[in-house]
Structure formats: C-alpha cells, structure tokens
Amino acid sequence: MNIFNIALHHLKISIRDTRTLIFMLAFPIVMMLVLGSALSNAFDNNIKIDKMQVLYKETGDTSFSPYFKEFTKAAKKEDIYFYKAPDKMDGKKEVKQNRYDAYVEVSNNGLTFYGSERNSIESSIVQGMLTAFADKYNLVSQVAKVKPDQTQTVLASGTPGDYVKEKSLNANKAPGSMDYYAVAVTTMIALYGAMGASFLLRGERTRNTAVRLATAPITKAEIFLGKIIGSIVLNLLSLLLIVAVSSLLFNANWGEHLGLVIVILLSEVFLAVSFGLGVSYMAKTGEASRTIILIVVQLASFFGGAYFKIDNPDGFMKLVTNLSPLTWANSAINKIIYNNDLAASLQVIGLNLGVAIIFLTIAIVAFKRREGF
C-alpha cells in the first residue's frame, strides 16, 4: 500500500509541473507535424516520368530508315518524342548538357545509343524500346532472306505499343512521413524519460523532503519501488496520449497489434527510467548526471533516426546505429505494423530489459550503501 501511495504522490507532483507536461506532450506533437510535413518528399515512393525527348541523326541512306521512322511515330504514344538533329549539331554534347534524354545515331551498321546519366530511368526506357525495335528488324531481315512473303506476317505480330511491357508487383506497405515520425518521435520521448528519472531520489534532497521521508514509517525499498513505478506509469501515460493524438490528428498508422507496440514502449520506458536512475548514482552531481543523460539521449536519437531516416547504413555507421535503443524499438515496431512480424518484438524487449536491469542493479547497490537518498 505504501508503494502505491508513493507512486500516486509522484504522479500528482509531476502532473502539477506544467513545464514538464508541455515538453512531454506538446513538444513531440509539434515535432511530428514539422518533420512529417517538411520531409514528406523523402518518403514518396512514386516515380513520375515526364515526356522523354530523344535526339537522332541519320548518316547515309539505310535500309531500315523507313521502319525507324514508323517506330518514332509509334513511340509518341508512349510520350517518347524523337527529334532529328541538324547536320552540324553535336548530339552527344546536347545530351551532356541535359537538353535531351538520349541520342541515337542511325547508320548502315545499325543503331548507336548514347544515354544520359542524369536521367538514367528515362534513358533506360528508351534503350529498351530501341533494343526491341532492333530485334524485330533483325528478325524481319532474316525471314526476308528465306521466305520474303512472310515478312508482313512477322511485322503484324506486334503492335506499335508493345515495345515496353509493364507488370507491376504489389509492394510491401511502407510508412509515410507522418507514420514514420509518429513512431520515431514517440520512442525518442520515451528515452527522454531518463531525464526525469535522474531526479527521482536526488530531487527529494533538493526539495528538502528527504529527511521527512527517512523518518516516515516506510522502508527505503518501498520508497525506491514507489518512485520507479510512479515514473514508469507517468511516462507510459504520456506515450499513450502521444500515440492517440498522432493517430487522431495525423492519421498515423500504428497497425493492428497496438497492444504489442505498447509493450515495446513500456520496455523502453523501463530502460529509460533505469538508465536515468543508474546514472544519477554514478555521477557526483545532478548537473553532471543531467549532462551525461542529455548527450546519450541526443546521440541515440540522432543515430536512431528520430530526426531523419537512415537507410541501409554500413560500416561504422551501421555499428553506431545498432547501438541506439531507438533503432531497436523503431525497427521492431515498424516490422509489427507493416509486416505483421510479431516475433520482432521479442528481441527488442529482451534487449531493453537486459540493459535496464544492469542500470537498475547499479542504482539498487548504490541506494543500499547510502544512509539517506
């Protein structure tokens, strides 16, 4: 009962702290809105291709020149426009200066293609269509040598629009900008719970209430547990409010397994509170513990993708990002939401609990050795 009363007392004191409430609730909502709106283009998976322009030049009379002209007419239906270059124009230079997507030389030896590295997608599409045309012409040429009367049948076997065949595959669901930052900012705020936890017991000394607690008919263990439980409950309630607001205001996707997501957030809150409490006993002063926690949380947020998405890191960057608790939590939550990978939660919960127990053990040992708080 004493543990419950202490936890409840801690909740009441924290709720009265308007500054802390604004930071824990208003700050993450504003941050989601700003980052989700400003970086929305970074999460756009749609590729838009405008009209493609191809420059070509004919050198001499070629036998397939009439066929090539028919091909260029048919290509217009696919928004690919061929423009004949004047004799003195340098087609390669025009492509380098990004005036055209590609350049083609038509000669007796066939087609010579020059693509643009700047517009690689457009260049690849044009190259594919020209390859299809060249293959069709070579086939007709070989048939004409054996059975000239069958050339028209071969030509009629394809339609002008079949140079490029499209097949789309349903891509895996992926988070939009607001979906991503709803998760990333929430897990970041969970880690910021370490700041408040560093003053759970040290704050009693600064408020001159440590003596009163020491003389009260309650044990140090009850005080210790009550403070931890109160801090965990406070931080978890804040996260639940953030999840609810992000879902209602920004339509953030939290998936169909919200209960499991909340368990992951709870394990991260436990990690943050244990980390803050452990550092408060390891550092000599409150300012030192606050500085250490702030640096660690900021680095974990930066490398954990709270401010910008980090895709496929390698080498040293991969090592650093994997050390961030935000990377563990964000990865697991997104796998649960978009891949229904429920097993992904086990590893992150285990890691959070394991690290939390280490710092909590440090705090317990230091707490027992102290005469006061």
The helix-helix angle for 344-369 and 220-250 (nearest 10°) equals: 150
- Using left for φ > 0, alpha for ψ between -120 and 50, and beta otherwise, residue 53 falls in beta
| DSSP for residue 77 | G
Q: Is residue 291's pLDDT more than 80? A: yes
Would you say 329 and 306 are in contact if contact means Cβ atoms under 8 Å apart? no
Would you say 121 and 73 are in contact if contact means Cβ atoms under 8 Å apart? no
Would you say 35 and 258 are in contact if contact means Cβ atoms under 8 Å apart? no
Q: What is the largest CA-CA distance in the chain?
A: 110
Single-letter amino acid, residue 25: L
Give the integer Cα–Cα distance in Å for 269 and 249.
24
3-state secondary structure of 81: strand
Give the integer Cα–Cα distance in Å for 304 and 292.
18
Q: Is residue 373's pLDDT more than 60? A: no
Domain boundaries, the chain: 2-37+178-369, 52-155
pLDDT digits (tens, 9 = 90+) for 216-231: 667 777 878 888 898 8
pLDDT digits (tens, 9 = 90+) for 295-344: 999 999 999 988 888 877 888 888 889 999 999 999 999 999 988 889 98
Q: How many CB atoms lie within 10 A of CB 281?
A: 19
Which pLDDT band holds residue 160 (cuts at 50, 70, 90)? very low
17 vs 28: which has the higher pLDDT: 28
> Which residues are CB-contacts of 215 (< 8 A; sequence separation ≥ 6)?
none
pLDDT computed for residue 16 by the predictor: 74
pLDDT digits (tens, 9 = 90+) for 186-207: 999 999 989 888 877 665 656 5
pLDDT computed for residue 68 by the predictor: 75
Give all strands (DSSP E) within the chain, no chain letters: 52-58, 80-84, 102-107, 110-115
3-state helix, strand, coil in the chain (%, to 5): 65, 5, 25
**Fold exhibited by the domain 52-155:** D-Maltodextrin-Binding Protein; domain 2 (3.40.190)
Both tokens of 277, joined, read 């409490």
Helices then strands, counting H and E runs in the chain, come out as 17, 4
Give the integer Cα–Cα distance in Å for 106 and 125.
18
Q: To which residue do tokens 């004409």 refer?
A: 144
Give the integer Cα–Cα distance in Å for 134 and 128.
10
Percent of the chain's residues with pLDDT above 70: 80
Lowest mean pLDDT among 43-57, 93-107, 341-355: 43-57
Q: What is the mean pLDDT of residues 275-288?
A: 86
pLDDT computed for residue 213 by the predictor: 58
